[in-house]
Amino acid sequence: MYYRKLGNTGLEVSEISFGTIPILQGNIPVLPAYFNLDESEALAVMTHAFQMGCNLFDTAIVPEYGDAEIKLGKFAACVGRERIIISDKARFFGGGEMYRAVETSCENLGTVPDLYFVHQVDASHEEEVFGRGGALDALAELKAEGKIRFAGVATHYYDILLRGAQDERVDVLQGSGNLLERGMLDRIRQETRFRGKGFLVNKVYAAGLLPARFPVRTLIGFALEYPVSSVLVGLGTKEQVEAAMGWDTRNPKRAVPSFEEVLSVLEKEYAPIPCDRCQRCVCPYGTEIHTLFRQYQYFYLGKDYWALKKLGLGISESARHCQECVAMPCMDTCPQKIRIAQEIQKIEKLTREYAV
Ligand code: SF4
Ligand code: SF4
């Protein structure tokens, strides 16, 4: 295992880190049944990762990741609190709620988290989070009081990451990317304003869909090529830990497939939309184009029910707007020259065909 600096925090983190969703137990819709781990199994998996050099463990407040936060606290007590770095998060956007969430997390963990993120920040909550008295002010206060060590923003949106990169209250960012959805990572690589912050990248397996198509070493190695501090991988078995961490990331040299090569692999299964989720397209009607395209890809890659459900939300309205849209400003900024309006019509047709 190799280690990288976590921005300006002074911490050194393992370049492959442990995501705790798969060690939770309970009724969480995103949880496949085989990840239904009890406490002793969960601790054994985390211990295995620790023995392989992993020192960063990422979780979220109960119940966002079920009971994973509690299990991580127990693991920290077993292994020695000072030997690992705990990253935690909560989806609360107001300052008061965030302050109380961190206190709850400290109780659940039985210790103080090293990193604490505002979780899943999107445009509708951005001003609340960044504004006066919002979640980031609360994290700054908690940091001053010694209840967390460093503050962060976790989001799937490039513009919000960039805002976080320029905010002095933010020490660490957490964003997503993988072989298929690499557009945001490409932009982060080009943007020097990200360099002062630690950066954790998640979703490198694309919700578990890509390992059936590409070796996990390729998926992880791909993300490590970017200026990130650590690649977070959800792990639920010792075998998964071995696959993710049991190799030398610097030797042998990995061949990272180009975006076109990734598309050509997927073309054997369906007609992928060549969208890398760079998020440069903007729709004046509010259609989140990159998210629609993601759900389309995920539908064909195996998350059919979940993806279809999400696609159904507002798709007919989006398709209607596209039919009436003359200027089509979204197309002007798309480097892939995707015929966005036509793809949205195609997706709308798909949701009608498969609607139950
Ligand atoms: S073509 Fe459709 S997605 Fe693009 S800007 Fe117009 S309404 Fe929005
Ligand atoms: S549609 Fe084009 S501009 Fe929009 S996210 Fe995809 S690749 Fe980027």
Same domain, 35 and 151: yes
Shared domain for 150 and 240, answered yes or no, is yes
Query: Distance from the CA of 181 to the center of ligand 1, in angstroms?
Result: 21
Same domain as 232, residue 112: yes
Tokens of 34: 């085989």
Residues 16 and 78 in one domain: yes
> How confident is the model over 55-88, as pLDDT tens digits?
999 999 999 888 999 999 999 999 999 999 999 9
Do 237 and 295 fall within a single domain? no
- Band of residue 334 on the pLDDT scale cut at 50, 70, 90: very high
Instruction: For the chain, give the mean pLDDT.
Output: 94
Do 37 and 95 lie in one domain? The reply is yes
Instruction: Indicate if ligand 1 lies below 6 Å from the C-beta of 200.
Output: no
Domain assignment of residue 81, yes or no: yes
CA 21/CA 240 separation, integer angstroms? 13
pLDDT at 78: 97
pLDDT at position 115: 98
> Does 346 fall in a domain?
yes
Q: Which atom from ligand 2 is nearest to the alpha carbon of 280?
A: 3
Q: What is the DSSP letter of 35?
A: G
Q: Which of 310, 320, 309 is nearest to 286 (CA)?
A: 320
Residue 127, C-beta contacts closer than 8 angstroms, at least 6 positions apart: 134
What is the pLDDT confidence band of residue 352, given thresholds at 50, 70 and 90? confident
The answer to the question of residue 323 being in a domain is yes
Q: Is 339 in the pocket of ligand 1 (CB under 6 A)?
A: no
Q: Name the residue with the closest Cα to ligand 2, atom 4.
A: 281
Question: 348 C-alpha vs ligand 2 centroid, how far in Å?
Answer: 18
pLDDT of residue 253: 64
* Residue 353: per-residue pLDDT: 85
Which residue, 62, 76, 135, 138, is CA-closest to 105?
62
Q: Are residues 219 and 290 in the same domain?
A: no
How many CB atoms are located within 10 Å of the residue 77 CB? 12
Under DSSP, the state recorded for 168 is: T
Q: Are residues 76 and 158 in the same domain?
A: yes
pLDDT digits (tens, 9 = 90+) for 98-120: 999 999 999 999 999 999 999 99
Residue 20 covered by a domain: yes
**What are the φ/ψ torsions at residue 209 (nearest 5 degrees)?**
-85, -30
One DSSP character per residue, 245-260 reads HSS-TTSSPP-PPPHH
The answer to whether the beta carbons of residues 18 and 46 sit under 8 Å apart is yes
Looking at the structure, tell me whether residues 123 and 217 fall in a common domain.
yes
Cβ atoms of 47 and 18 within 8 Å: the answer is no
Atom 2 of ligand 2, residue of closest alpha carbon: 334
Q: Pairing relation of β-strands 12-14 and 3-5?
A: antiparallel
Q: Which tens digit of pLDDT belongs to each residue from 307-326?
A: 677 666 788 899 999 999 99
Number of folded domains that form the chain? 2
Output the CA 300–ligand 2 centroid distance in Å: 19
pLDDT surpassing 80 at residue 34: no
Residue 259 lies in a domain: no
Which residue owns the Cα nearest ligand 2 atom 3?
334
Instruction: Give me 103's structure tokens.
Output: 């206190």
Cα distance between residue 242 and residue 244, in whole Å: 6
Full residue range of the structural domain in which residue 179 is found: 3-245
Residue 115 lies in a domain: yes
**The pTM is what?**
0.94
Looking at the CA of residue 331, tell me the nearest atom of ligand 1: 4
Ligand 1 within 6 A of CB of 281: no
Q: Beta partners for 117?
A: 89, 152
257 in a structural domain: no
65 and 192 in a single domain? The answer is yes
**CA distance linking residue 5 with residue 15, whole number of Å:** 9
- The residue nearest atom 6 of ligand 1, judged by CA position, is 328
Residues 212 and 318 both lie in one domain: no
Cβ of 341 less than 6 Å from ligand 1 = yes
Interval between CA 345 and ligand 1 midpoint (Å): 11
Are 200 and 285 members of one domain? no
**Nearest ligand by distance to the CA of 180:** 2
Q: Please say which residue of 213, 245, 277 terminates a domain.
A: 245
The pLDDT score that the predictor gives to residue 351 is 87
Residue 258 domain-assigned (yes or no): no
Return the CATH number at 82: 3.20.20.100
Q: Which of 199, 190, 243 is nearest to 217 (CA)?
A: 243
Q: Compute CA 345 distance to the chain's CA centroid, rounded to the nearest angstrom.
A: 28
pLDDT of residue 312: 66
Q: What's the whole-number mean pLDDT along residues 189-215? A: 95
Say which residues have a Cβ less than 8 Å from residue 336's Cβ, sequence separation at least 6: 274, 275, 276
- The finding on whether 330 has its CB within 6 A of some atom of ligand 1 is yes
pLDDT recorded at residue 97: 98
Residues 6+ apart with CB under 8 A from 309: none
